[in-house]
Amino acid sequence: MAELKNKDYNVSEDGFYGEFGGAWIPEILYSNVENLKKAYLGILEDPQFQKEFHALLKDYAGRPSPLYHAQRLSEKYGCRIFLKREDLNHTGAHKINNTIGQILLAKRMGKTRIIAETGAGQHGVATATVCALMNMNCIVYMGKTDVERQKLNVRKMEMLGAKVVAVTSGNMTLKDATNEAIRDWCCNPSDTHYIIGSTVGPHPYPDMVARLQSVISKEIKWQLQEKTGRDYPEYLVACVGGGSNAAGTIYEYLNDLRVKIVLAEAAGDGIDSGRSAATIQLGTVGIIHGAKTLLMQTEDGQIEEPYSISAGLDYPGIGPMHANLARTGRSEVLAVDDKEAVEAAFELTRLEGIIPALESAHALGIFRKKQFKPDDNVVVCLSGRGDKDMETYIKYFDSKI
């Protein structure tokens, strides 16, 4: 592995994080991606864009999200734990930060039609929400299997005015929905913007989504200053599906080596069980969704279907930023299995009165695996709320009594 010379963990000019990233796309998408690449930084840094973006984050999404010192959880694990409450955002997770940003960008690029892919439906709902807000045409691709599993989110998207297309190719899950969205984009390059839901896909998406989510760490900075008299913690903790809530949580601290980064990926039934989504520990280098990264694949390069109890974490790849952070040792990645995550969810609920999303429960699961010191400030991104996961929690609860 080549050592990074300047220890800069941000994206390079040509779209790489170390050896990972880039834009590996079919010829027909070249001009779409190139136009986006030329436009995104100028738009994101434009003061008028920033003004509109932050106004919506504040009045529509409900930011800043609180940084909450979880005292009883802290006592239990012998350190100072702060929860970054992304669960309190409109639509229940951090995903709205990204979709608000991208819909504003799409408008500025003169687009009138929005497409998105979704697995469990959370990103689909966040996209349909901002499309309703901005009166934009919205088409969401979703594997047929997921459509059947996630009826409530499908209904929400439809109520919001989106068209949900059930994809029947392959395993009829997220990977197939993504292929279909890419196919659509190829056919409708001029009027359509593709809102990708995580720090994945061809450059510039991973960087663009990370920048839009970086509001999370910008807030953590001043909130920690207020609460601890210092604007950085010893540790930042987040779960990683594609990597967007994690990227947002660490963005402002990427090159600040006083801050250690601990990430949780989903071990499903266990790392060695053959049923997991532990992409960083089990993945090998390949290309998925237009990026070179670590992914779960067979020896002949077929993408393996990932598994996790949490629908938001069972993505077969990982954002290129996180592949690089893990490979260079900047982040420590722990695999948390289904059982550990569910137990962590019940623990948080009973100690703090907060029912977390199953994804966020994986981040909380690291406290079972790693010791901290009493003086350590540990900021955990509580990426979403648990309403959507109640059926799973109920099943688990009923099996215990």
Ligand X SMILES: *Cc1c(COP(=O)(O)O)cnc(C)c1O
Residues involved in catalysis: 95, 117, 383
User: Least distance to ligand X from the beta carbon of 373, Å?
Assistant: 27
Total Cβ atoms within 10 A of residue 115: 24
Instruction: Collect all residues with Cβ–Cβ distance below 8 Å to 211 and sequence separation of at least 6.
Output: 44, 101, 251
Q: What is the CA radius of gyration of the chain?
A: 20
CA neighbours closer than 13 Å in the CB half-sphere of residue 354? 26
Residue type, 301: G
User: CB-wise, 226 or 249, nearer to ligand X?
Assistant: 249
Question: Nearer Cβ to ligand X, position 44 or 264?
Answer: 264
Residue of 18, 64, 202, 241 interacting with ligand X (CB under 6 A): 241
Instruction: Answer whether 342's CB lies under 8 Å from 396's CB.
Output: yes
Judged by CB under 6 A, does residue 279 bind ligand X? no
Helix, strand or coil, per DSSP, at residue 45: helix
Answer yes or no whether residue 95 interacts with ligand X by CB under 6 A. yes
Q: Binding to ligand X by residue 198, rule CB under 6 A?
A: yes
127 binds ligand X (CB under 6 A): no
Which listed residue (145, 244, 297, 308) binds ligand X by CB under 6 A? 244
Q: How far apart are CA 80 and CA 43, in angstroms?
A: 38
- Whether omega for the bond prior to residue 64 falls within 30 degrees of 0, making it cis, is yes
Instruction: Give me the least distance between CB of 357 and ligand X, in Å please.
Output: 4
Residue 245 as a binder of ligand X (CB under 6 A): the answer is: yes
Residue from 64, 201, 242, 268 that binds ligand X (CB under 6 A)?
Answer: 242
What gap in Å lies between CA 268 and CA 59, rounded to an integer? 37
Q: Which stretch binds ligand X (CB under 6 A): 10-18, 153-161, 233-241, 328-336?
A: 233-241
The residue (of 227 and 393) whose beta carbon lies closer to ligand X is 393
Q: Assess 331 for contact with ligand X (CB under 6 A).
A: no
Are 18 and 2 within 8 A, CB to CB?
yes
Rounded to 5°, the CA angle 218-23-123 comes to: 50
Q: Which one of the spans 128-136, 160-168, 244-252, 297-305 is the region binding ligand X (CB under 6 A)? A: 244-252
Q: How far is the CB of 326 from ligand X (least distance, A)?
A: 14
The number of residues that bind ligand X (CB under 6 A) is: 19
Other CB atoms within a 10 A radius of the CB of residue 369 amount to: 12
Strands (DSSP E) contained in 51-153 are: 67-69, 80-85, 113-118, 137-143
Q: Is 192 in the site for ligand X (CB under 6 A)?
A: no
Does position 178 bind ligand X by CB under 6 A?
no
**Residue choice 239, 254, 266, 336 for contact with ligand X (CB under 6 A):** 239
Which residues are within 8 A (CB) of 301 and not within 5 positions of it... i.e. 6 or more apart? 286
Judged by CB under 6 A, does residue 156 bind ligand X?
Answer: no
Q: Which of 18, 204, 243, 283 binds ligand X (CB under 6 A)?
A: 243
Pick 22 or 242: Cβ nearer ligand X: 242
* Region binding ligand X by CB under 6 A among candidate stretches 24-32, 168-176, 240-248, 368-376: 240-248
Cα of 148 vs its chain's centroid, Å: 23
Residue 240 as a binder of ligand X (CB under 6 A): the answer is yes
Q: Which of 228, 201, 240, 207 is nearest to 359 (CA)?
A: 240
Contact positions with ligand X (CB under 6 A) in 335-374: 357, 359-360
From the CB of 336, what's the least distance to ligand X, in Å?
13
Residues 216, 138, 191, 174: what is their CA dihedral angle, to the nearest 10 degrees? 70
- The residue nearest ligand X at its CB is 384
Stretch of 22-30, 104-112, 164-172, 236-244 contacting ligand X, by CB under 6 A: 236-244
Nearest distance in Å: CB 245, ligand X: 3
305, burial (CB in 10 Å: exposed 0-12, middle 13-18, buried 19+): middle
Any idea what DSSP says for residue 304? P
For residues 186 and 303, which CB has a smaller minimum distance to ligand X in the complex? 303
Ranges of H-type helices in 120-214? 122-134, 144-149, 151-159, 174-187, 205-213
Kindly write out the interface string for residues 297-326 of this chain, putting x where it contacts ligand X by CB under 6 A and - elsewhere. Answer: ---------------xx-------------
Helix (H, G, I), strand (E, B) or coil at 204: coil
Q: Which residues bind ligand X (CB under 6 A)?
A: 93, 95, 122, 198, 239-246, 312-313, 357, 359-360, 383-384
